[in-house]
């Protein structure tokens, strides 16, 4: 049974958000990216919940959060929703951890929405332009066609796409849990809608602000990331004063799934230094 229990709901400006929390210690928000949900953090939470109070939410239009026609599921809406949730919970200066789109989410919440934070960690982040896999760019250009394919083709397509992002074989149940939110009529439309709204301008805006970051910063990257190569993580490090960098051997894009023990230990070592 997973420890990621999204048992609470919050009405954000871009739809109802499902979120949850577990553990005890300093407040740490874990933000997932595309095309997944908070389930990606289950091994990390299990390993470290005795030391940190983890909070997690499914992004608008993702996982258990609300999905609806015409929903704003751009990166900027994710940053806004995260800021709104933290304000609602009245949590001051949390540490933010973001993966993939979640990395842009935590950066945007701090740099554009003005959320005060203790520290920021990004892993395999979508943070520098240009970004997006060849497949995702093809989907963006042909959203209506992909949204109309039979479900069995849609499901197989997502599975194949996810497999390119992982360096280790995942069991059937893990893959099923990652794909499940995108199945059915609502889920399938939502999947292609979020690809269709990929927000390249937002990361361009963020790039100008990275040099202004003055909180502790950690960058973690899978050495075998085929979606966002590790060279992008190293380029990001040069833009942020005093940013730490950790390369994760044998990890692909989903580094917390491929090498959960290494990811948890690396994150814990950094959190232990910066937590207040």
Rounded Cα gap, residues 151 and 237, in angstroms: 41
The whole-chain average pLDDT of the chain stands at 92
Determine contact, residues 178/39, Cβ cutoff 8 Å: yes
* Mean pLDDT, residues 58-85 taken together: 94
pLDDT at 174 over 90: no
User: 112-162 pLDDT, tens per residue?
Assistant: 999 999 999 999 999 998 766 677 677 777 777 778 889 999 999 889 888
Do the domain assignments include residue 91? yes
* Mean pLDDT, residues 27-32 taken together: 98
Do the domain assignments include residue 166? no
* Mean pLDDT, residues 12-25 taken together: 96
Res 276: pLDDT:
66
Contacts 24+ apart (CB under 8 A), 266-269: 266/220, 267/44, 267/48, 267/97, 267/121, 267/218, 267/220, 268/47, 268/48, 268/51
Do the domain assignments include residue 255? yes
Do the domain assignments include residue 184? no
Do the domain assignments include residue 32? yes
Quick one: what percent of the chain has pLDDT higher than 70?
97
Can you give the residue range of the structural domain that contains 223? Answer: 8-132+199-274
Do the domain assignments include residue 170? no
Do the domain assignments include residue 140? no
Determine contact, residues 19/57, Cβ cutoff 8 Å: yes
Q: If pLDDT is split at 50, 70 and 90, which confidence band does 250 have?
A: very high
Task: Considering only residues 130 and 215, tell me which one the structure prediction assigns the higher pLDDT.
Answer: 215
Model pTM? 0.92
Do the domain assignments include residue 190? no
Domain count of the fold of the chain: 1
User: 183-193 pLDDT, tens per residue?
Assistant: 998 988 888 88
CATH of the domain at 51: 3.40.50.1820
What's the token pair of residue 257?
């799934």
Report angle CA 179, 185, 190 to the nearest 5 degrees: 65
pLDDT at 27 over 80: yes
pLDDT at 238 over 90: yes
């Amino acid at each position: 049974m997973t420890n990621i229990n999204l048992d609470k709901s919050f009405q954000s400006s871009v739809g109802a958000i499902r979120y949850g929390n577990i553990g005890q210690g300093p407040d740490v928000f874990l933000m997932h990216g595309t095309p997944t949900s908070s389930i990606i953090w289950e091994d990390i939470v299990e390993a470290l919940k005795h030391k940190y109070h983890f909070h997690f939410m499914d992004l608008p239009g993702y996982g258990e959060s609300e999905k609806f026609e015409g929903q704003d599921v751009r990166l900027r809406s994710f940053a806004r929703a995260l800021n709104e949730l933290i304000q609602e919970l009245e949590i001051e200066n949390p540490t933010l951890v973001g993966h993939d789109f979640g990395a842009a989410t935590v950066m945007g919440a701090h740099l554009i929405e003005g959320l005060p934070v203790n520290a920021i960690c990004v892993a395999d982040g979508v943070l520098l332009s240009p970004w997006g896999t060849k497949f995702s760019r093809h989907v963006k250009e042909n959203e209506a066609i992909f949204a109309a394919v039979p479900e069995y083709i849609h499901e197989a397509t997502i599975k194949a796409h996810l497999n390119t992002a992982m360096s280790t074989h995942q069991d059937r149940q893990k893959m099923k849990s990652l794909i499940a939110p995108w199945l059915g009529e609502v889920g399938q439309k939502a999947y292609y809608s979020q690809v269709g709204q990929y927000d390249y301008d937002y990361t361009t805006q963020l790039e100008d602000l990275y040099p202004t970051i003055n909180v502790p910063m950690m960058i973690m990257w899978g050495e075998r990331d085929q979606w966002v190569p590790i060279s992008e993580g190293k380029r990001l490090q040069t833009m942020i004063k005093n940013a730490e960098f950790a390369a994760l051997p044998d990890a692909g894009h989903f580094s917390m799934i491929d090498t959960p023990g290494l990811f948890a230990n690396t994150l814990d070592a950094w959190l232990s230094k910066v937590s207040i």
